[in-house]
Chains A and B, each alone.
Chain A
Amino acid sequence: NAGVTQTPKFRILKIGQSMTLQCAQDMNHNYMYWYRQDPGMGLKLIYYSVGAGITDKGEVPNGYNVSRSTTEDFPLRLELAAPSQTSVYFCASSYQGPNYGYTFGSGTRLTVV
C-alpha cells in the first residue's frame, strides 16, 4: 500500500497564481485532513472531510478550497496565492477519527514569491 500520496513535493508560485495540491490515499479511510506547517511551528488545520461529498473548515481556511468527490482523493485548491501561504502542506487520513490514528503524507513545500 502506498498510504497517503501528495503531489507535487515542491512548488514555487508567483503572487496571484493558483494551483491544486493533490492528495490521495489507498487505505479506504473515511476521514481526510489538510494541515499547513510554518517554520518552527506546529500544524494548523485548514480543511477536513468525513467522507465523499462532505467537507468542513478548520482553523485557517481563508484562501483555500477543497472538494471530496471520491473516498480516495482530497485536493486542496489555492486561489490567488499570497506570500502568507508559503508553508509546508500535509495531507492526512484516518479510518474514523483520532482514535484510529492518522496517516500523513510526506508534504508539499510551497513558496509564493
Chain B
Amino acid sequence: DAKTTQPNSMESNEEEPVHLPCNHSTISGTDYIHWYRQLPSQGPEYVIHGLTSNVNNRMASLAIAEDRKSSTLILHRATLRDAAVYYCILRDEGGGADGLTFGKGTHLIIQP
C-alpha cells in the first residue's frame, strides 16, 4: 500500500473547524483513503473512508483532491472530546485480508 504523510501534531480551538491534512502522492487508482482516530487510552475507532468523491458522515467530512494526491479530514466543530491521534491510511481495494497499516498519525490538541 502507498505511503501517507501527516503532520506530527496540530492544535485547534474548541468549537472551531479543524482541517487535518494527509499527503499521499504515490496513491494508486484503487487505493481507498481511510481515517481512524484513537482517543487517549482507547483503541482506534473508524471515522470515514472514501475513494474519489468527497464523503460526509455524522463524525466528519473527507475532502479528496482532484488528483487524489492529498486529502483532508474536516471536523466541523471541534469539541474537547475530539482530542486524539488521527490516522490517515491507504488501502488497495484488492489488497487482501491482512490488516490496515497504522503509522504515527497526527496528534490533535483541542484548546478550550
- Chain A positions near chain B (C-beta within 8 angstroms): 4, 31, 33, 35, 40-45, 48, 50, 56, 58, 90, 92, 97-99, 101-107
Verify if B100 is at the interface (C-beta below 8 Å from A): yes
Contact A42 B105 (CB under 8 A): yes
A111 vs chain B, min Cβ distance (A): 15
The docked-state distance in angstroms from the alpha carbon of A98 to that of B50 is: 11
Chain B contact-residue range equals: 20 to 34
The docked-state distance in angstroms from the alpha carbon of A95 to that of B93 is: 15
Contact A97 B42 (CB under 8 A): no
Contact A104 B43 (CB under 8 A): yes
Contact B87 A42 (CB under 8 A): yes
Q: Which of B97, B104, B105 has the most CB of A within 10 A?
A: B97
- Chain B positions near chain A (C-beta within 8 angstroms): 32, 34, 36, 41-46, 49, 87, 91, 93, 95, 97-105
Q: Which residue of B lies closest to A31 (CB)?
A: B97
**Residues in B neighbouring A44, C-beta threshold 8 A:** 102
The 4 A-B pairs at the shortest CB distance, nearest first, are namely A104-B43, A43-B102, A42-B102, A101-B46
Contact A107 B99 (CB under 8 A): no
Q: Which of B34, B43, B103 contacts A42 (CB 8 A)?
A: B103
Contact A102 B97 (CB under 8 A): no
